[in-house]
Amino acid sequence: MQIGVPAETMAGETRVAVTPETAKKLVAQGHTVRVQAGAGLAASATDEAYRAAGAEIVDAAGALGCDLVLKVRGPSPEELALMKPGATLVGMLNPFDAEGLQRLASAGLTSFALEAAPRTTRAQSMDVLSSQANIAGYKAVMMAANQYQRLFPMLMTAAGTIKAARVVVLGVGVAGLQAIATAKRLGAVIEASDVRPAVKEQVESLGAKFIDVPYETPEEKEAAEGVGGYARPMPQSWLDRQKAEVAKRVAQADVVISTALIPGRPAPVLITEDMVKSMKPGSVIVDIAAGKGPNGHDGNCPLTEAGKTVHKHGVYIIGETNLPALVAADSSALYARNVLDFLKLICPKDATAVQVPMDDDIVAACLMTQGGEVKRR
């Protein structure tokens, strides 16, 4: 089969869906791999490396005109115009973007959004949310450490002692866990909060302290269990108590990393303006939920501005919206392996056409459009 790998065109998107490593494997499986010239450059993959892996270097039309197109982000209207009706697209297509999916359906594409894969053991190797959130959690701490005008570890020097940084992590999914692990490696003292009770043990196993907010009603307990491992909106009574506990920690914190998300809904507001005002001058907030908050530009903090670092009430608030793109080589390496694993389900070795086995729960969950219709379940 002809597999196309276009260069990403979305602003700031540096990742690429196929690396020389995975291109080589696709070629070994009998496929023709057509990579747009320069597609991997921002991720440290040169055209020469793709050629050495057996891929052809083509222009945008050559990559987008293939039977199977592998991308990081959904195509722009210009890219869509270069794709063939009946072709298959695999990428992070945003299953909640109804208009975007309708455009893919109208273009006659069979499309798969990898973010929709279930969080099951079998799907783990193709779980793009996890592979990219892991990198986001790491990079968030790196950015905080860079912005923060003090050190993370406690240092006892001849010139006196420097205190360890206090880090608060809000939302302990994949990104939050990696943020805790990274801050710990740098020597910080860490506290973390999440709605899901299962997280407490994971937080403690990484050497951080869990901010306990006990559930007082059956309704609170049931909401906290979430669905499919994901959080659900919590009752206001619990959120009010969580806010009081978090506010105390945030006032003492040097760095806050917030990652709280609820699929298909605006990110919850966890760091209010009053909490920001209570922080010490020079403290840093990295809001990984930037751009997903109730007003679009914000995140877990209403003062966050997506895509910018702002300085408000003496606190730096980092609203970077694509942290994995700042670590393009490794995020592409993991993403490309996720894609390769997903292809085993729809494009087995020597296949001449894409298959859509709807009895496979991962394929069925990821299928977004087919036969001119939006199929998202």
Report in angstroms the alpha-carbon separations of 345 from 17, 23, 47, 81, 252.
Answer: 17, 17, 28, 27, 49
Q: Is 130 a catalytic residue?
A: yes
CA–CA distance, 36 with 38 (Å, rounded to integer): 6
Among 14, 22, 111, 259, binds ligand NAD (CB under 6 A): 259
119 is an interface residue for ligand NAD by CB under 6 A: yes
Indicate the residue type of 52: A
- Taking CB under 6 A as the criterion, which residues in 155-174 touch ligand NAD? 170-174
In this complex, which beta carbon is closest to ligand NAD, that of residue 122 or of residue 349? Answer: 122
Q: Is 111 a catalytic residue?
A: no
Rounded to a whole number of angstroms, the minimum distance from the CB of residue 348 to ligand NAD is 23
- Nearest residue to ligand NAD by CB is 173
Give the pairing type, strands 160-162 and 155-157: antiparallel
Name the one range near ligand NAD by CB under 6 A: 98-106, 191-199, 354-362, 364-372: 191-199
Rounded to a whole number of angstroms, the minimum distance from the CB of residue 53 to ligand NAD is 29
Which helix (H) or strand (E) is 119 found in, with range? none
Q: Is 119 a catalytic residue?
A: yes
- Do 175 and 192 meet the contact criterion of CB atoms below 8 Å apart? no
- CA-nearest of 259, 169, 151, 242 to 208 is 169
CA–CA distance, 285 with 271 (Å, rounded to integer): 9
**Catalytic member of 127, 194, 254, 287:** 127
Q: What string marks each residue from 11 to 40 as x (binds ligand NAD by CB under 6 A) or -?
A: ------------------------------
- Taking CB under 6 A as the criterion, which residues in 218-237 touch ligand NAD? 229-231, 234
Give the pairing type, strands 255-258 and 166-170: parallel
Strand segments, DSSP code E, in the chain are 2-5, 32-36, 56-58, 68-73, 88-92, 110-113, 155-157, 160-162, 166-170, 189-193, 209-210, 255-258, 284-287, 309-312, 315-318, 367-370, 373-374
Indicate the residue type of 371: G
CA–CA distance, 20 with 125 (Å, rounded to integer): 19
127 is an interface residue for ligand NAD by CB under 6 A: yes
Q: Is 376 a catalytic residue?
A: no
129 is an interface residue for ligand NAD by CB under 6 A: yes
**Catalytic member of 76, 102, 124, 149:** 124
262 is an interface residue for ligand NAD by CB under 6 A: yes
Rounded to a whole number of angstroms, the minimum distance from the CB of residue 151 to ligand NAD is 28
Rounded to a whole number of angstroms, the minimum distance from the CB of residue 8 to ligand NAD is 22
In this complex, which beta carbon is closest to ligand NAD, that of residue 133 or of residue 253? Answer: 133
Q: Is 127 a catalytic residue?
A: yes
- Do 103 and 124 meet the contact criterion of CB atoms below 8 Å apart? no
In this complex, which beta carbon is closest to ligand NAD, that of residue 259 or of residue 370? Answer: 259
Residue numbers annotated as active site: 119, 124, 127, 130, 230
* Interface residue list for ligand NAD (CB under 6 A): 119-121, 124, 127, 129-130, 133, 170-176, 193-196, 229-231, 234, 259-263, 268, 270
